[in-house]
Structure 1
């Protein structure tokens, strides 16, 4: 994988017991707004299942994805958002498979 390939960052998570769905949604809205200002950011989607959530961030390259992830970890939005998310969340940064 090189830095010039389109890339996605996918996170699968659950909310911590007793946390507010509405609070989580508000924090993800603010994160989506913040993402719009990041170099190489292409799009964001949030998915809800019965007891899990997933989000998908699309970036122009793996380099942009990693730099965006690192920058987000320093924001107040991240500090708030992570309070809603259970510790067993999993994420990956990868590229679309071309058939």
Structure 2
């Protein structure tokens, strides 16, 4: 099997999250199609659960995060879910971490 490089540098993401959360910032995540593979999806799930990050996906990123998960916001953007739009556009998010989007 061919080894493929991860779509994101997990150590760099975790360092950013640690810094943001240490400063008391509310972080949410928007995930695109480049995270929609088993390797990156597993990393995303681990990081989201560790840091309690709400996660929205783009339409093409749908499936990168379990839709029934308590932290899942649904699809953001075209054909988006109200919960994702309200959360990401609302006042409660200080930092939007965008992963796997072109």
Same fold (TM over 0.5): no
| Structure of higher RCO (CA pairs closer than 8 Å, 6+ residues apart) | 1
Give the structure with the higher percent strand: 1
| TM-score, normalising length: structure 2 | 0.28
Which of the pair has more CA radius of gyration? 1
